[in-house]
Every structure is written in structure tokens, then in C-alpha cells.
Amino acid sequence: MPSLDALVCTEPGSLRIERREAVRRAPDHALVRPRRIGICGTDFHIFEGKHPFLAYPRVMGHEIACEVVEAPAGSGLRPGEICVINPYITCGTCIACRNGKPNCCATISVLGVHRDGGMAGLLSLPAGNLLPGDDLSVDQCASVEFLAIGAHAVRRGGVGPNDRALVVGAGPIGIGTALFARLAGAAVTLVDIDQQRLERAATIAGATCPPAGIPMTEAVAEATNAEGFDVVFDATGNRASIEAGFAHVAQGGRYVLVSVVKEAITFSDPDFHRREMSLLGSRNATELDFRRVMSVMRAGDVAMDALITHRTTLTEAVKDFPRWARDKTGLIKALITNE
């Protein structure tokens, strides 16, 4: 089997294409060829040196649609089949896995973060981490993982039809969170400092957004009759934003941290207790969330044409990726095509 190219982040701010040795399939693994790889905030944080769980060098890429090349007998997978990759490689035996929470497995290994990911020619993965795309397009399959992050966060937040929900951050994760909060029946408000991105994201997610220039305190008061939101989600990856979000939660409400930052966050303990607030971390997603997203896609509830705004190839990403990291004007979701 020939060697294949991989896009490697050698250190913060540095990308290059490397020739890698041939990948061989482990007995219980499937050998797959990544066909589309989504670029998300995690990848930009890796490139910028801001990710808390990463060691360099690293082949990025965890939002992956793949084509099966070889599969173990009895797996049900067929060569040529297009699949969604669940990028969370878990142990299956730790307390989290035993309790049905493999998304926070004690020894989790996430493709593109803890181990090399999809910006490469071939991957060998456990067959159980592949979900056949069936009637979904390759682009849709590559978009399942990031939307599953939002679907999982909404499930963590226990969102229901009587809730008023606030999503802070109108990037892809925020869009997914707002979309699934709306599908759960909540009245959803989406906010972001970039008004142009906010308006586009709100349209995609079916959320409302405050008028340009209105102070956040006024926006919260107007949307909730000054009561605060039943559930607030932070999807910014910004410490100041996370800390400010506590003030937007209603009495007895929930605050779900979808994004992760390197720094410690602080909040007022008396105010936290006064409102009997619930603070929840939301990490990754489970197969249940992946299948929920795939079902919603099949129902036509995800505007793929509006979500995917930028495209590149594995080779061209060497120059496109740093440019998009500096200037995200008009960028919602970028895909790398690797045919």
C-alpha cells in the first residue's frame, strides 16, 4: 500500500503536508479513506496553541465522512460505503463507559486531538465507530459530529417546550445548539459580537437575535420579562463570555458550558446559591446524539447549503487554514475535500 499525504500541525501556527507510511488495518478495525473533513473551532484552537488537551505534532480532523476501504468480517460494513465517523475512541470499561457516558470516558482518545485524525489519506478505526450514512450525502455525513455536540448539550440541559433558551456564540457549535434547542420546543435567543454572523446563524437555526447595538442586559430583560433564561449555553470558547453568562440565568435555571477554555473560570458563589443554579459541563456527544442528528438531516431540518460556506483541498488547506484562522468573515463551516 502506498504512502499517503497528511496535513500536520507541527506546532502552534505551523502547518505542512507530510508523506506518511502506509496505514494497516488492525483485525477488529475498518480501514477508511476520509472523503470530507470539517474544520471547526477546535481545529483553529489547535492551530493557535489554545487547546488544553493537545500535544504537537498532530494531524487534525475529527469531523469526518469516510469511505470504507476494508472492513472486518461480521461488521456489516461494505467497501465503498460512505460512513459518519464517531471520533471518540473509548475504553468501554471505565466508570463513565459503564454508566453510558462514553463521551467522557476516563481514557478517551479523540481523533485529531489525542491521536492523529482525519486530515490524512487513510485511517484504521474500530468498526463500531462507523455509522453508515445510507441516504445522507458525503457533506451531510461530515457535518454530523459538530451538530451532535449541540444535540448533546441540549440533552444535557434538559431543554423542553416551556423553556426560554439563550445560546451565546453563533459559530457552528452555537448554531447546532440553537437548532436542537428549537427542535426541543424552546424559544431560542442567539447572541454574538459579530452582527453579520449572528443574523445568518439565527436564520439557519430558526432562532431570534437582539437588534444590533442593544446592551446584553437589555436584551435578556426584553426576551425574558427580566426573569432570565431557563437555560443558557455558552459556545464561545471565551473565558470572559463564560463568566458573564452566569448573570443571564433565571432563578432555578441551568447553565451549560459547551465550549472549553484553558483558564480557570470564576463566579459569585452567593449569587449561584441564591438562584439555586445548575452548572453543567457538556463534552463531546454519544451515538444517540449522532443518530438524532442523522434523523433530523433526513427530515430536512438542517440547511446544509447555508451551513457550508467554504471549501478547500488537503493540499490547499496549508494556506487556506491560516487565512481563515485570521479572518472568519462569512465563514460558518469549511470542508476539506480529500478524494
Shared-domain flag, residues 109 and 256: no
248 belongs to a structural domain: yes
Residue 276 pLDDT exceeds 60: yes
With cut-offs at 50, 70 and 90, classify the pLDDT of residue 23: confident
pLDDT of residue 27: 85
232 belongs to a structural domain: yes
Shared-domain flag, residues 314 and 193: no
Shared-domain flag, residues 181 and 277: yes
Looking up residue 134, the CATH number of its domain turns out to be 3.90.180.10
Shared-domain flag, residues 17 and 141: yes
Measured CA to CA in angstroms, residue 37 lies from 65, 135, 161 at distances of 7, 19, 34
Shared-domain flag, residues 65 and 167: no
> Is beta strand 63-70 parallel, antiparallel or unpaired with respect to 82-85?
antiparallel
Shared-domain flag, residues 13 and 134: yes
Average pLDDT, the chain: 94
Shared-domain flag, residues 14 and 78: yes
Q: Please report where in the chains the cell 447553565 appears, as a residue.
A: 255
Query: Residues 15-36: what's their mean pLDDT?
Result: 88
Provide the 10 A C-beta neighbour count for residue 287: 15
Enumerate residues 6+ apart whose C-beta is below 8 A from 107: 90, 91, 94
Q: How many CA atoms lie within 13 A of 131 on its CB side?
A: 25
153 belongs to a structural domain: no
Structural domain boundaries enclosing 223? 158-281
173 belongs to a structural domain: yes
310 belongs to a structural domain: yes
Shared-domain flag, residues 231 and 315: no
> What pTM did the predictor assign?
0.94
245 belongs to a structural domain: yes
pLDDT of residue 142: 97
Shared-domain flag, residues 304 and 263: no
Query: Residues 138-145: what's their mean pLDDT?
Result: 97
Shared-domain flag, residues 277 and 216: yes
pLDDT of residue 272: 97
pLDDT of residue 4: 67
Shared-domain flag, residues 131 and 256: no
Count of domains observed in the chain: 2
- Where is the domain boundary, 262, 281, 300? 281
SS3 category, 207: coil
Q: How many CA atoms lie within 13 A of 79 on its CB side?
A: 4
pLDDT of residue 207: 97
Looking up residue 182, the CATH number of its domain turns out to be 3.40.50.720
Between residues 65 and 41, the one the model is more confident about = 65
239 belongs to a structural domain: yes
CA angle 142/296/147 to nearest 5° reads 45
Query: Residues 40-50: what's their mean pLDDT?
Result: 90
Query: Residues 59-78: what's their mean pLDDT?
Result: 95
Shared-domain flag, residues 15 and 138: yes
- Where is the domain boundary, 253, 281, 309? 281
The packing angle between helices 172-183 and 195-205, to 10°, is: 40
Q: What is the pLDDT of residues 156-197, one digit of tens each?
A: 999 999 999 999 999 999 999 999 999 999 999 999 999 999
